[in-house]
Amino acid sequence: VNLVQILYKKFSQILSDIGENEGGIDKFSRGYESFGIHRCADGGLYCKEWAPGAEGVFLTGDFNGWNPFSYPYKKLDYGKWELYIPPKQNKSVLVPHGSKLKVVITSKSGEILYRISPWAKYVAREGGNVNYDWICWDPEHPYKFKHSRPKKPKSVRIYESHVGISSHEGKIASYKHFTCNVLPRIKDLGYNCIQLMAIMEHAYYASFGYQITSFFAASSRYGTPEELKELVDTAHSMGITVLLDVVHSHASKNSEDGLNMFDGTDSCYFHSGPRGTHDLWDSKLFAYSNWEVLRFLLSNIRWWLEEYCFDGFRFDGVTSMLYHHHGMGQSFSGDYNEYFGLQVDEDALTYLMLANHLIHTLYPDSITIAEVKLALNSWFSCLNLPSCWDYRLASPYPLIKEFKDEDWNMGNIVYTLTNRRYLEKCIAYAESHDQALVGDKTLAFWLMDAEMYTNMSVLAPFTPVIDRGIQLHKMIRLITHALGGEGYLNFMGNEFGHPEWLDFPRKGNNESYHYARRQFHLTDDDLLRYKFLNNFDRDMNRLEERCGWLSAPQAFVSEKHEGNKIIAFERAGLLFIFNFHPNKNSDAAEYGGHQRLDHNTDFFSEPLEQNGRHYSLLSFSIIGSHFLTSKNVDLHTKNLNKEDNSKFHK
């Protein structure tokens, strides 16, 4: 409680200082309107940079024949530099759309450094070049959004996506491809939110987008900024919310096409010395207490909201941000001493509070998600203070890695899925992109392994491995969906049990794109069993849309039977019954089951107390994952309506 109060006081003080010195956070977060380069109304060019360690700053490029010193910046206070280039006499454009630029820095040690502006809106790598080029992006006909932002969904069902791997072909897919081919699939599957990964420009493709080099530039390897805007706009037309996977926890160590050593020192945007380096990720760490770093990061948040109309963010690597040890070597077993104390980076946490405040001030319906171990929001909520984020990304239960399914403990499954603090909203997932990466296995691969290559044809008889694997794949996802949180996330392709891991082209695999793709066509083949998993995922989401269990209060678990491997719980007017027994289950044919259940069966409750409930029912025909609904059951007050014989309708 003391830490939360200290943090809120610090947040309030910085917010007040921004108001006093910058005219408020609204003006402060518009840095992209003055920093970088901007065409003026008179046809001239205004340029501005922050380079406190520089001896001199210049602008060069195609427009001046790459003369490095013909356009020097004027030095201002606080390490800022500005340049105004008057218009040409013939009124032609000084720096045409598509032309290349560089900032030239002369360091105090006498070095001449060619840099990309930290505020560059578009960068690209041409031909066989190693480094990216800064390219002026000022199209004659910029994209104009046609559709309004969708309303914030009551239940958040997130489809975690990567544009580059969205094709089955061995190449980098485009924004256009994703818009035309993947968005309709996402809509059909019942997901109402997309989380786009690897959008902020990153020079190294195999970093999965987590080594950012240009924070204001949309990745050019997938297409143009206008095509990304079209993607977002098309998603909005479908009623789909679009989140950006934002990486403010660290940055690439690249200097020629990144932020590192921008002004010739290691302390411009980052901490100087060892504190400025993440030893595990081999990347640079922001100095969140620095005034201009705050301007840069908050302006970056606003840029993606305003320019590209994103509806919120998933903040990556928040655990690393919050602690001076960055989570390395920490178990986070639940002891409060592990979470609170001198190891907390108060500056980083204060920045996150400022970012969340800005986001919801600009767009109240925005969504923020933190990848973090610390359940800090519950403490802020208890004290009626503004939160740091809307949702915390929960961790999956690694039961399939540690035990055979016949040895799964029902109590442990329930505990893991419900172990979240009061007033803390979580996004649950059975597997995210982390589990799909090479070195790990997807859920389907853990369950079925090599038989996925040989026994997924409907023309072949069910093998015990495929049969059991398909049933468990559905059950694990449904119980996570229904019990694990207030939102749900799935990584693209995993809904149908994508048969291969994810591995980006790199030296270790001879720069192959074979595993950097998603084979959506497998679900379209009626002769393959992938369609059953896809159908189940679709209908699971559609049922949640109808019944709204994710936006309902947490579930009441009434049964955890180890002998029968049964879990039963109630949520949102639904009774969920899961049978994890290895040889006593069945389900519907359209989901790859055996049609052993009569779907016309009615179930009746009786006034027999069981597990603290006044009424109970007996079912002799329980499928692997089965839920019964009733319009006559008040699950929140734990009373049943006796007048209608407490009939449950499937």
- The residues carrying an active-site annotation are 316, 371
Give the angle subtended at the CA of 190 by the CAs of 549 and 503, to the nearest 5°: 110
Q: Which two tokens stand for residue 452?
A: 């996925």
Rounded CA separation 123/203 (Å): 10
* Phi, psi angles (nearest 5°) of residue 194: -115, 135
Task: Map residue 12 onto helix, strand or coil.
Answer: helix
Rounded CA separation 195/197 (Å): 6
| Distinct helix (H) and strand (E) counts, the chain | 16, 29
Q: Which two tokens stand for residue 561?
A: 């039977």
CA distance between the termini of the chain: 46
Rounded CA separation 116/261 (Å): 11
Rounded CA separation 530/126 (Å): 39
Rounded CA separation 403/464 (Å): 18
Rounded CA separation 3/424 (Å): 18
- Would you report the helix, strand and coil content of the chain in percent, each value rounded to 5? 30, 20, 45
Mind giving me the DSSP string for 222-262? G--HHHHHHHHHHHHHTT-EEEEEE--S-B---SSSSSTTT
Task: Map residue 559 onto helix, strand or coil.
Answer: strand
Asked whether the beta carbons of 505 and 205 are under 8 A apart, the reply is: yes
Task: Map residue 460 onto helix, strand or coil.
Answer: coil
Asked whether the beta carbons of 482 and 476 are under 8 A apart, the reply is: no
Nearest to 241 by CA among 197, 201, 187: 187
Q: How many CB atoms lie under 10 A from the CB of residue 371? A: 21
Q: How many CB atoms lie under 10 A from the CB of residue 117? A: 21
What's the Cα-to-Cα distance from 439 to each of 260, 436, 500, rounded to whole Å?
30, 9, 12
Nearest to 539 by CA among 446, 492, 599, 477: 477
Asked whether the beta carbons of 512 and 170 are under 8 A apart, the reply is: yes
Nearest to 573 by CA among 633, 642, 485, 625: 633
